Structure formats: C-alpha cells, structure tokens
C-alpha cells in the first residue's frame, strides 16, 4: 500500500464506528435499557421525559433520503488504478502520467430504470461510475456498459426518463422497458434507434459486473502540458471477458435471487477473486471530429475499434467491499464535472446538460452543499476554499476570513499557480438558436452497423427481445411505428420482429443495408473464457461416487471455479464407498439459473434417486435450455436421458472416468461461458 492509499485510508478510518462497547445515545450517554419506554407505572402512558425514546424514534423517522431518480439500484466497491506508462504526450493528469502512483478508486455499478428495491437482472442499461481519488483532486468517470445513449441533447433527458419509468397512472411496470410509454417515445424519436439495438441485445443482461464493459459514452479531451488537445473515448475492458445471461434465465433469477449481480460482486471480492479491468483509450486528433463518418460530439454514435484502436493504458482492480452500504455506496456522489488538470469536456449537448444535472441532484438527495465532506466523497487532495456553513458542515474552519481577496489572513488561501486546472482554450461564437446540428442527423447507419456485427445467435436474441418488449405494448400503432424504424436498420430484422408482434411485415427494404460491420461489437469475438468466478453445481444423492466429485471439483477449483454440492436435503449424503459427502445447499433452495455449469457424478444409487427427483430433472433440463456446460460421469448420463437431453450436444461432456480428457473437455466447455448455437427448441423449460 502506497502513501497515497494510506492517506485515503486514514481519512476514512476517522469516521468508522466499531460495534464493540456499551450502547449510548448520540450524545455519548450510556444506555441501560432500549427495550422498554419510560412510563408511569408498568401499564401507564409513556412519558415525554424519555429522551432516549424520542431520539431513537426521531432518528429512525429520518433515516431515508431520496433515492436517485435514475441509477437508484446499485452496488459498489473500492479498489485502485495504475497506469502502464506515462501518457505525457496526451495529458497532464497525474494518475495517467505516473506509473508508480496507485490511485484509490470507488466504483458504483447500477441499473438505470428501477427503484432501489428492484431486481439486478432486468433488461436495462448498467451504470459504471468510477471515482478516482487522485493527488490533483477527484476525477469522476461516470459511464455506462453501452457506448452510446438514447438521446443527443440533455434537454430531452427528463422526457426519456419519464417515458422509461413506470407509467404514472398506476406505477407499473417496475424496472422494465416493455411498456407503452417508452416505446411511444422511441417511435417518435428516431435518434433512439441505435441505443435500442444495444438495449435489445445481450449487453443489457450482463452475467456479472466483472464481465461487463464500461464506456465513458461522450467524447472528452485530454490536454498536454503545452495546452494541446486530443479527443478521447474511455473504455473499461473486463479481464474475464464480456458475457451475458439468457433472457428467460434473467427473469427467473429475479425471483430466485434479485441480488444476483451485487451478491456476485460482494462474494467475489470476499473470496479474493478481484474484478479487474483495463482502461482503454481511443485517441483522435482535435481536427478529426468530423472525419469518421459521423460527429464525435453525437452521444448516439460510437467510434468503431477497427477504425481507431482502443489502446490499453492501465489496470483497475476492485479489492475491497464497503463497510456500510448506505454510508458509502448510497451516499457516493458522482459528478461528470469533477475534472482534474489534463482532462476537459467537449461541446457534446448531452454532456453539457449533465454538467448541471449531477450537482443539482446531489444538493437535494444529500441535503445540501457539503456532501463532498462525506467520507466516500472526500478527495485525498487537500481542500481549502471559502465555502462555509450549510447543512452537515463537518469542517471547523479557522481564521477570520471567508472571502477572496483578503489581507487579514495574508491572502490565504492563495490562488494556485502551476498545476491548477485550466479550461481548454477555444473560440466560441454563434447565434442563439434552438437547432440540432445537421451532423447529428443519421439515426440508422450505426444501428445497422451494430446489427451487421452480431453473430447469428446474437441476432436471434435481439429479435426475441424486440418481440417480447413490443408484445407487451398495448397500442398497435406504437408497434407499427417501431417496426417502421427497424426497416431503416435492416429489412430482415423488421420482418422477423413484425411477424412476432401481430403487425404487417414491411414489403420492401426502406433502405439498403450498407453491409459494414465492427467485429469488436460482438460478444462472439470477445476475450477467451476463464473459469474464474464461475459457479458449478454438482448434483448428488446417497450412493454418489465421491471420487468423481473429488477429482473433477479439484481440477475446476484449481482453474478458478467455485463448486457446490446440491442434494435433496442439507447436511451430508452417503458416498458409494461408505464415506460421506458434505452438502453445500439443499436443491429446493436454489436453481440452475444461479450456476454457470452442472456436473452429474456417477454412482448408480445416486443417479437413480436424482432421476426420481423432479427438481433434479428440471435443474439439468433448464441448464441445457440456457446453453450451459453439463458434465456427466458414468451412470450420471442417465439423468441426461431422463431429462430428454442429447448426450452428444455441444457443451455436454460425458465419460466413464473423471481423469484425463473428461475433466479437460469439461473445463473448456465451462470456460466458453455458453453454447449459444446449441439447439434447445425441443427441450422442456
């Protein structure tokens, strides 16, 4: 741990309150009874003299603060970032120019549409917000897991959020985009088309936060020591690769474990399987803002990696869970205008509105202007200014002055010289108008690029998503309007969607598909898989071959997976050799959707019991339906047969012995994440 980390830790430690010791009031008065109110006799009225009762109830009545309007449901973690090499040719930002600096960070992941009480696995955009506690001050990279956004101008943000939120007359549906108001907005706003393609893709269903990309969305500027600017796009690339869940699976997870993603983040860090990401940057010369076939200031467009490579520049590691969810994850306050020297904004009209919105939001949500003093928001850089008073002021300012200029305090705090933040110098002029730039007009070209870039199975999932979402829309004219937009993206896409939602398919393509693609956009072309953070369910009963379990689980655990033995009841089961096998969880308390793969060990008695257990049969059939790897040893293949599953299907591994080819082949199958090309149409749900 560096001195930089020590400083941040020390500042946080001064606010930590350990549970050990005697109970007191807020004033430090020790309390001997907190179960009974002070009353006039054992059956008499409670007395106003009971200051402990009044303090306790009053604090409870005021424990809730307004939740975020968007990104209300989240999970967070601390970690650190370290740049690989000095980027001095681009920026003066200290954390990007000093490879010896290990910059502390706090990252908050979130869903956009739902309330704090909604589920993790809904179809939605995910927030990926990073607070860098740099030596020059806090820098907040407030992004999403998709590189584009729904709208081009921030003045439309309230309209979009109102449309995607539950409908106002009945507050339904919660945390879902499959309803009339959102799709009515989409139908009437062609600029949403590209983002809706991403939202209907598997990118909206991440397997975990550790397997999810992050994007800064906007185009920013990096400024070097001579004041020269380079346009930049920020990317977070997960080292585990980018992987998603199945839509049917996500809906079931929402019932079985609505905290699925946040639990995975917490458990992974506690187990030492720290989520890791590379920071990648796309560099574009300032004079090339219009040279890539679109306007780089348009937030509904992405910069294809094949045109401008993403350069890995540093690594982010999340290695510590928060001590208190409310104090840290809920009270962390991100602001896109939290910039440091060497990083500046552009004239992106959505970005410009966000510069106002975030600060304005925190003032209400956190009760006043002093929220930067909350421990999770405090910079490691020293803070000196003339801000005074207000709700929750925690600093005790010394001296007689709180203004600039002054002579009484020797002019302090003094204006900074070298190293101060300076805005990029550029000429700005023009007439006051309300008009969108003509360079923002192409709303369909990149939506087509995204569609063309998808593998066949990804396209199938997108079509199914449009059919599900629009199938929930009650007004036929809205469904027809969306299909009309899709004809401008791809004729085959529009026809396939129309055929599933009861509207007339378009007779001819509105425009010809331009045929261009960006392979980097497809998860099929992503980083090679690993077993790290994978969960494997081992189905077993009395009479199981414990040797099978030991041999295979040892190999899987060595490769980074977690293995859990599931049986009909908790406790232990009898092994075929007379020993016993400890049960991790009772089968009725879990489901296949909570695991990445299934192993069925041998043992005639065990397999016979499993084939007679409806939960076990459903477990393996459902895992197959969701394209997961399944391994069956010896008699274990009987459970596959009982579930009506083909033993020779892609991702299904059978064998008679756990050693050698079986374990190696199963490991490879699990590392592939899913076998999406497997035919599951005839398999029972």
pLDDT digits 0-9 by tens, 396-454: 889 998 889 999 999 999 888 888 998 899 888 898 899 999 999 999 999 999 999 99
| Average pLDDT rounded to a whole number, residues 252-259 | 97
pLDDT of residue 124: 98
- The per-residue b/e assignment along 437-475, b for 16 or more CB within 10 angstroms, e otherwise, is eeebebbbbbbbbbbbbbeebbbebbbbbbbbbbebbee
- Tell me the pLDDT tens digit for each residue of 312-358: 999 999 999 999 999 999 999 999 999 999 999 999 999 999 998 99
- Tell me the pLDDT tens digit for each residue of 387-408: 899 898 988 889 998 889 999 9
Beta strands in 149-249 (DSSP E): 214-215, 220-223, 229-238
Do 654 and 587 share a structural domain? yes
The pLDDT-based confidence of 658 (bands split at 50, 70, 90) is confident
Structural tokens at position 257: 């474990």
The pLDDT-based confidence of 33 (bands split at 50, 70, 90) is very high
With a CB cutoff of 8 Å and minimum separation 6, the contacts of 320 are 77, 78, 79, 269
Q: Is the CB of residue 131 less than 8 Å from the CB of residue 332?
A: yes
Asked if the structure places residue 44 within a domain, the reply is: no
Total number of residues shown for the chain? 685
| Average pLDDT rounded to a whole number, residues 154-161 | 96
Q: Is the CB of residue 314 less than 8 Å from the CB of residue 271?
A: no
**DSSP secondary structure string for all residues of 597-619:** EEEE---HHHHHHHHT-HHHHHH
Do 543 and 481 share a structural domain? no
Domain C-terminal end among 465, 496, 525: 525
- Tell me the pLDDT tens digit for each residue of 65-81: 999 999 999 999 999 99
pLDDT of residue 9: 64
C-alpha to C-alpha distance for 521 and 213, rounded to whole angstroms: 11
Instruction: Please report which helix (H) or strand (E) contains residue 219, including its range.
Output: none
What is the CA angle 436-438-443, rounded to 5? Answer: 90
pLDDT of residue 107: 98
Question: What is the CATH number for 664?
Answer: 3.40.50.880
Do 479 and 455 share a structural domain? yes
C-alpha to C-alpha distance for 146 and 447, rounded to whole angstroms: 13
Do 498 and 547 share a structural domain? no
- Tell me the pLDDT tens digit for each residue of 610-626: 999 999 999 999 999 99
Q: Is the CB of residue 163 less than 8 Å from the CB of residue 432?
A: no
Q: Is the CB of residue 539 less than 8 Å from the CB of residue 606?
A: no
Asked if the structure places residue 159 within a domain, the reply is: yes
Q: Indicate if the pLDDT at residue 680 is higher than 70.
A: no
Do 223 and 307 share a structural domain? yes
Question: What is the CATH number for 491?
Answer: 1.20.1370.20
C-alpha to C-alpha distance for 104 and 281, rounded to whole angstroms: 20
Do 546 and 511 share a structural domain? no
Spot the catalytic one: 4, 80, 138, 144. 144
Task: Please list the alpha-helical segments (H only) found in 502-603.
Answer: 546-558
Domain that residue 620 falls in: 535-671
| Average pLDDT rounded to a whole number, residues 107-134 | 98
C-alpha to C-alpha distance for 599 and 552, rounded to whole angstroms: 9
For the chain, the domain total comes to 3
Do 615 and 561 share a structural domain? yes
- Tell me the pLDDT tens digit for each residue of 193-208: 999 999 999 999 999 9
Asked if the structure places residue 440 within a domain, the reply is: no
Strand partners, 133: 138
Q: Is the CB of residue 402 less than 8 Å from the CB of residue 388?
A: yes
367 Rama class: left (phi>0) / alpha (psi -120 to 50) / beta: left
pLDDT of residue 415: 87
Asked if the structure places residue 394 within a domain, the reply is: no
Question: What is the CATH number for 233?
Answer: 2.40.180.10
Do 587 and 505 share a structural domain? no
Asked if the structure places residue 321 within a domain, the reply is: no
pLDDT of residue 291: 94
Q: Count CB atoms within 10 A of the CB of residue 646.
A: 14
Instruction: Using DSSP bridges, classify how beta strands 585-586 and 562-567 pair: parallel, antiparallel or unpaired.
Output: parallel
Q: What mean pLDDT is reported for the chain? A: 94
Domain C-terminal end among 324, 348, 372: 348
Asked if the structure places residue 385 within a domain, the reply is: no
Do 610 and 478 share a structural domain? no
- Tell me the pLDDT tens digit for each residue of 478-520: 999 999 999 999 999 999 999 999 999 998 877 899 999 999 9
Do 549 and 520 share a structural domain? no
Q: Indicate if the pLDDT at residue 683 is higher than 70.
A: no
Do 501 and 549 share a structural domain? no
Asked if the structure places residue 464 within a domain, the reply is: yes
Asked if the structure places residue 643 within a domain, the reply is: yes
- Tell me the pLDDT tens digit for each residue of 630-656: 999 999 999 999 999 998 999 999 999
Structural tokens at position 266: 């917490």
Terminal alpha carbon distance of the chain: 50
Place of tokens 């805005």: 423
Helices 604-611 and 614-625 cross at an angle (nearest 10°) of: 80
Q: Is residue 355 packed enough to be buried (19+ CB in 10 Å), middle (13-18) or exposed (0-12)?
A: middle
User: CA 462 → CA 132, 192, 442, distances in Å?
Assistant: 35, 16, 22
Instruction: Check if 144 is active-site.
Output: yes
Q: Is residue 216 packed enough to be buried (19+ CB in 10 Å), middle (13-18) or exposed (0-12)?
A: buried
| Average pLDDT rounded to a whole number, residues 538-563 | 97
The pLDDT-based confidence of 19 (bands split at 50, 70, 90) is confident
Q: Indicate if the pLDDT at residue 2 is higher than 60.
A: no
User: CA 492 → CA 39, 146, 506, distances in Å?
Assistant: 76, 24, 9
Domain C-terminal end among 504, 525, 546: 525
Q: Is the CB of residue 620 less than 8 Å from the CB of residue 591?
A: no
Q: Which one has a higher pLDDT value, 106 or 680?
A: 106
Spot the catalytic one: 71, 461, 626, 673. 71
Q: Indicate if the pLDDT at residue 29 is higher than 60.
A: yes
**Lowest-pLDDT range of 12-26, 230-244, 304-318:** 12-26
With a CB cutoff of 8 Å and minimum separation 6, the contacts of 196 are 150, 186, 447
Q: Indicate if the pLDDT at residue 163 is higher than 70.
A: yes
Task: Please list the alpha-helical segments (H only) found in 296-442.
Answer: 349-365
Do 564 and 618 share a structural domain? yes
pLDDT of residue 681: 56
pLDDT of residue 7: 61
Sign of CA dihedral 535, 539, 542, 545: negative
Helices 456-471 and 476-489 cross at an angle (nearest 10°) of: 160
Q: Is the CB of residue 550 less than 8 Å from the CB of residue 482?
A: no
pLDDT of residue 5: 58
Q: Count CB atoms within 10 A of the CB of residue 298.
A: 26
Q: Indicate if the pLDDT at residue 684 is higher than 60.
A: no
């Amino acid at each position: 741990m560096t001195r930089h980390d020590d400083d941040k830790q020390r500042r946080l430690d001064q606010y930590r309150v350990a549970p050990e010791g005697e109970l007191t009031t807020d004033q430090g008065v020790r309390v001997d009874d907190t179960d009974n109110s002070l009353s006039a006799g054992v059956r008499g009225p409670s007395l106003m003299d009971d200051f402990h009762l009044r303090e306790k109830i009053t604090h409870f009545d005021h424990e809730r603060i307004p939740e975020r309007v968007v990104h209300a449901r989240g999970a967070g973690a601390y970690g650190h970032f370290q740049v690989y090499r000095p980027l001095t040719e681009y920026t003066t930002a200290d954390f990007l120019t000093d490879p010896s600096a290990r910059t502390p960070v706090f990252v908050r992941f979130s869903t956009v549409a739902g309330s704090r009480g909604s589920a993790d696995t809904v179809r939605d955009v995910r927030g990926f917000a990073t607070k860098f506690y740099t030596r020059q001050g806090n820098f907040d990279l407030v992004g999403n897991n998709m590189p584009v956004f729904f709208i081009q101008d921030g003045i439309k943000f309230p309209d979009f959020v109102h449309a995607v939120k539950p409908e106002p007359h009945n507050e339904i549906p919660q945390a879902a985009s499959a309803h009339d108001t959102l799709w009515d907005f989409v139908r009437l706003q062609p600029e949403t088309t590209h983002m809706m393609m991403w939202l209907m893709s598997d990118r909206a269903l991440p397997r975990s936060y550790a397997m999810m990309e992050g994007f800064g969305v906007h185009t920013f500027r990096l400024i070097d020591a001579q004041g020269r600017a380079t346009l930049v796009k920020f990317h977070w690339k997960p080292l585990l690769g980018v992987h998603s869940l199945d839509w049917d699976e996500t809906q079931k997870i929402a019932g079985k474990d609505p905290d699925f993603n946040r639990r995975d983040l917490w458990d992974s860090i506690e187990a030492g399987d720290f989520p890791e990401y590379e920071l990648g940057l796309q560099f574009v010369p300032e004079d090339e803002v219009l040279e890539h076939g679109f306007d780089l200031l348009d937030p509904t467009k992405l910069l294809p990696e094949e045109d401008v490579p993403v350069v890995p520049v540093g690594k982010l590691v999340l290695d510590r869970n928060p001590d208190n969810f409310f104090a840290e994850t809920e009270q962390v306050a991100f602001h896109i205008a939290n910039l440091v020297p060497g990083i500046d904004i552009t004239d992106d009209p959505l970005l410009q509105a966000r510069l106002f919105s975030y600060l304005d939001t925190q003032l209400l949500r956190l009760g006043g202007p002093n929220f930067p003093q909350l421990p999770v928001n405090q910079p490691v850089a020293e803070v000196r200014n003339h801000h005074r008073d207000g709700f929750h002021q925690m600093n005790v300012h010394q001296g007689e002055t709180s203004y600039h200029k002054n002579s009484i305090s020797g002019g302090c705090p003094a204006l900074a010289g070298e190293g101060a933040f300076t805005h990029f110098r550029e000429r700005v002029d023009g007439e006051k108008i309300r008009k969108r730039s003509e360079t923002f007009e192409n709303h369909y070209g990149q939506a087509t690029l995204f569609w063309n870039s998808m593998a066949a199975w990804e396209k199938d999932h997108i079509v199914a998503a449009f059919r599900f979402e629009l199938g929930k829309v009650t007004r036929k004219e809205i469904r027809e309007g969306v299909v009309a937009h899709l004809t401008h993206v791809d004729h085959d896409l529009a026809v396939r969607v129309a055929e599933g939602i009861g509207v007339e398919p378009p007779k001819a393509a509105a425009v010809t598909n331009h045929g261009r693609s960006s392979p980097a956009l497809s998860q099929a072309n992503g980083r090679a898989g690993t077993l790290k953070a994978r969960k494997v369910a081992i189905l077993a009963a009395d009479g199981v071959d414990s040797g099978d379990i030991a041999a295979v689980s040892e190999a899987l655990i060595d490769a980074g997976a977690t293995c859990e033995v599931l049986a009909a009841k908790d406790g232990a089961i009898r092994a075929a050799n007379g020993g016993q096998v400890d049960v991790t969880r009772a089968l009725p308390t879990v489901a296949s959707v909570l695991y990445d793969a299934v192993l069925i060990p041998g043992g005639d008695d065990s397999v016979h019991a499993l084939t007679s257990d409806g939960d076990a049969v459903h477990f393996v059939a459902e895992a197959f339906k969701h394209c997961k790897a399944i391994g069956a040893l010896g008699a274990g293949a009987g459970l596959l047969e009982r579930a009506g599953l083909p033993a020779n299907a892609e991702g299904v591994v059978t064998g008679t012995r756990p050693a050698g080819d079986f374990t190696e082949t199963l490991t490879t199958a699990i590392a592939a994440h899913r076998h999406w090309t497997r035919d599951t149409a005839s398999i029972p749900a």
